[in-house]
Amino acid sequence: MNLLLIALLFQSLVLPPRISLENPSAVTDVPKQLKKDYDKVWARFLLGKEDAKVVSDADKLLKKQKTFVPAMVVEAYIDLYRGDAADAERKFGDVLAQNPSHRIALYYVGELAYARNDFGRANEFYTRLLVVDKTRPEIEIKRQKTLLLSTDNVLQAAARAEAEGRLPDAEGLYRKALDVAPAEPVLHERLGELLLKQKKWDDALTQLRRAIELADPTDEAQRGVAEALMNLGRTEEARNVLDRLRQSGSRDEGLEHQVAELEDLGRWGSDIARFRAILAASTVNREQIAATLVRYFPQIMETHQNPQVITDIQNSWASSEIQAVVGSGLLDPLPNHTFQPARTLTRSELAVAMARLSRLLSVKPPDAPPIPTNDLTSGNALYREVQLVLAYGFMMLDDAGNFGLNGPVSGEEAVSTAEKLLGLLHEKSN
């Protein structure tokens, strides 16, 4: 903040004439047995000519009643007029220890803090004062000033600490700023971003979500939420956040790539090398597509199964996945009860499997007219299934308008097809 703004906002503590001060007895009742003596003390204080006598008489009252708050306030007033701010603040603090809602003490502790540029402390006491005395509009203005000043000073210090690599110091400063302004979304977002740098994923997620609750979410805050979720292993939630960002026209390709890698690792586990081999393959086989479908859609394993005898999968690494896709009707065994795991998958087989799977998962069919295909007529037994995957966008025609029923399927196309269906399921659940 520039010096001009500080000069405009800062005001020194100016003491009014004594006659205009509030009598402490208006805040705290004076016991009947002390009233006469107290009234004399107060009258002598207002004259301003015998302060030593005022203090002596106030001390006598405090000996009679150790916690006699009006006498404590009078002595604090005397310190103010003597220019002894430290003693005055200490005595007002003693008053607040007896009565935390004492409006006179709250006001002067706030004013004294303000006068020495301790804006965070001033804001605290102005805020407390406004809770007990809502008739002070000038205090609300000063409270807002102290909020601005205190957070700006702290944020500048936090920015310096962050730039110098002192991240724990910066974190402490941001938290201090939030003590002053707990409902300021920018502070929560800045703290959240700093916590991401320190890999404090849980805390970062809390702060960034709080920022989003308090104001319209920024793209940066949402990306931060996705990063925290990803590093906490909550990849599906991270993916949902990234999908929303993409739909709004904002995306982070690096973060999306990291989330995708974690999703792949979560699906494939120790078989991750097999997945990478599938993805890189120019053609995939029936064994590989069975494994891909089950890893992307584990709910296949939970659907009703019609067990079938298959004689050639005992040595397959994907034997359980093959049993699941056959049992759920996604892929058909051959008439001789074999599956032929190593046989190259055809485009017609993938189309049938994906059409059946979309029905199994209750994905709503697209409301679209048929797409003309040069090599497939409406009388073909596979026409319905092919039209469904074309309408979904799972598979495409070639440049000549042919589907190529007997053509092979690359690993990239097989994985892309599964991811497109997964994307539809995410949209359905959101």
Its sign, for the CA torsion 339, 342, 343, 345, is positive
**Residue 13 counted as domain residue:** yes
Residue 416 neighbours by CB distance under 10 Å: 13
Contact 294, 271 (CB under 8 A): no
Rounded to the nearest 10 degrees, the angle between the axes of helix 85-98 and helix 103-115 is 150
Quick check: is 127 in a domain? no
Q: Is residue 181 part of a domain?
A: no
Q: With respect to residue 286, please indicate whether it lies within any of the assigned structural domains.
A: yes
- The tokens for 423 are 């994307």
The one-letter amino acid at 302: E
Domain encompassing residue 337: 281-429
Residue 163: strand, helix, or coil: helix
pLDDT tens-digit series, residues 316-335: 999 999 999 999 999 999 99
Nearest CA to 223 out of 401, 381, 231, 115 is that of: 231
Q: Given 116, 137, 159, which residue is the final one in a domain?
A: 116
Of 116, 144, 176, which residue is a domain's last? 116
- Let me know if residue 148 belongs to a domain: no
pLDDT band at 15 (very low <50, low <70, confident <90, very high): confident
Is residue 40 in some structural domain? yes
Structure confidence at residue 145 (pLDDT): 81
Q: Which residues contact 168 (CB under 8 A, 6 or more apart)?
A: 198
Q: For the whole model, what pTM was predicted?
A: 0.54
Could you tell me how many helices (H) and strands (E) the chain has, helices first? 20, 0
Region 84-97: mean pLDDT is 95
CATH number (domain holding residue 43): 1.25.40
Alpha carbon separation from 416 to 235, 289, 420 (Å, rounded): 18, 12, 6
Is residue 31 in some structural domain? yes
Number of independent structural domains in the chain: 2
Q: Are 90 and 113 in contact (CB under 8 A)?
A: no
pLDDT tens digit sequence for 21-68: 999 999 999 999 999 999 999 999 999 999 999 999 999 999 999 999
Per mean pLDDT, which range of 36-50, 97-111, 238-252, 353-367 is the poorest?
238-252
Residue 210 lies in a domain: no
Residue 405: helix, strand or coil by DSSP?
coil
